[in-house]
Amino acid sequence: MFKTLLIPEIDRANKIISDFLRMAKPAEITTEEIKVKEFLYDNLGKFLNSKALLHNIVIEYETNPDMLHCSFQVNREELLQVFINLLQNSLQAAGSAELKIQLKAERAGNVIRFTFKDNGKGISESIIEHIFDPFFTTKEEGTGLGLSVSQKIIENYKGTMDVLSDSSGTSFIIDLPISNPENEME
Ligand SMILES: Nc1ncnc2c1ncn2[C@@H]1O[C@H](COP(=O)(O)OP(=O)(O)OP(=O)(O)O)[C@@H](O)[C@H]1O
Ligand SMILES: [Mg+2]
């Protein structure tokens, strides 16, 4: 009885605390130079493919060969956490149709642009300007930290994170600076 009542609350409290710590102490997180290709295939791709099997999601990848030799300076787990948060939101926004995620990675000048699009219910115009605010949530069990923490992580890498949404779904656009812009064919 107590177990079923308490555990979700503890999980939720733990999430608030760890998200908060992540937000409060970004300077202590170490970064390394990682090839975009490696992150995309070995980390993000493997994670998404395992989730796709588990939740019956269709994932489409679109990569531009331009970006495959580029690197960025990031913390692998932290960057992966951003996409974990996005996938979580997409799963929660899925309608009756099968969830489809389209992940595009391309070079746009001196940044790598990831576009993460779902075919979920979309975000209404009246709230879209608030979704990156800490504690903004439309979910009964939500804490409203997923996107604010994610945006903070990206901004700590001198990148940007934006959203576009309509009734066909929601796209998050993440731009991250390339750390070897002249050395792209190494
Ligand atoms: N892919 C999406 N489709 C539709 N709505 C979204 C999507 N992503 C975010 N939202 C909206 O933005 C709000 C804020 O998202 P955020 O991830 O910051 O918090 P949350 O998901 O509500 O809670 P938490 O991530 O802390 O568990 C959500 O409550 C939801 O209304
Ligand atoms: Mg969320």
Domain segments of the chain as ranges = 30-177
Check if 26 has its Cβ closer than 6 Å to any atom of ligand 1: no
* Ligand 1, atom 20: closest residue by C-alpha: 144
Longest Cα–Cα distance in the chain: 61
Ligand 1 proximity of 159 Cβ (cutoff 6 Å): no
Strand partners, 113: 106, 175
Q: Using CA atoms in the order 177, 51, 49, 178, what is the torsion angle rounded to 10 degrees? A: 0
**Contacts of 58 by beta carbon, 8 Å cutoff, 6+ apart:** 52, 98, 99, 100, 101
- E strand or H helix at 114: strand 111-118
Residues in the chain: 186
- Is the pLDDT score of 10 beyond 70? no
Determine whether the shortest distance from the Cβ of 119 to ligand 1 is under 6 A.
no
The CATH homologous superfamily of the domain defined by 30-177: Histidine kinase-like ATPase, C-terminal domain (3.30.565.10)
- Does residue 147 have a pLDDT over 90? yes
Tokens 């975009």, residue?
A: 36
Average pLDDT of the residues in 10-33: 72
Whether residue 113 contacts residue 70, with contact meaning beta carbons closer than 8 Å, is answered with: no
**Mean pLDDT of the residues in the chain:** 88
Q: Which long-range contacts (CB under 8 A, 24 or more apart) does 124-133 make?
A: 128/163, 128/165, 131/163, 132/161, 132/163
What percent of the chain has a predicted confidence (pLDDT) above 70? 85
pLDDT tens readout for residues 39-95: 999 999 999 999 999 999 999 999 988 887 899 999 999 999 999 999 999 999 999
User: Two tokens at 22?
Assistant: 């992540």
CB 144 within 8 A of CB 135: yes
- Which has more confidence, 98 or 67? 98
For ligand 1, whether the C-beta of 120 sits within 6 Å is yes
- Whole-number Å distance, alpha carbon 90 to ligand 2 midpoint, is 9
- Per-residue pLDDT tens over the stretch 31-46: 999 999 999 999 999 9
Q: Sorting pLDDT into bands at 50, 70 and 90, what band is 186?
A: very low
What six digits make up the tokens of 144? Answer: 């409203």
Distance 150 CA to ligand 2 centre (A): 10
Across the range 113-128, mean pLDDT stands at 97
Once rounded to an integer, what is the mean pLDDT over residues 137-162? 93
Residue 97 Cα to ligand 1 midpoint, Å, equals 19
166, 97 contact by CB (below 8 A): no
Q: Is the CB of 89 under 6 A from ligand 1?
A: yes
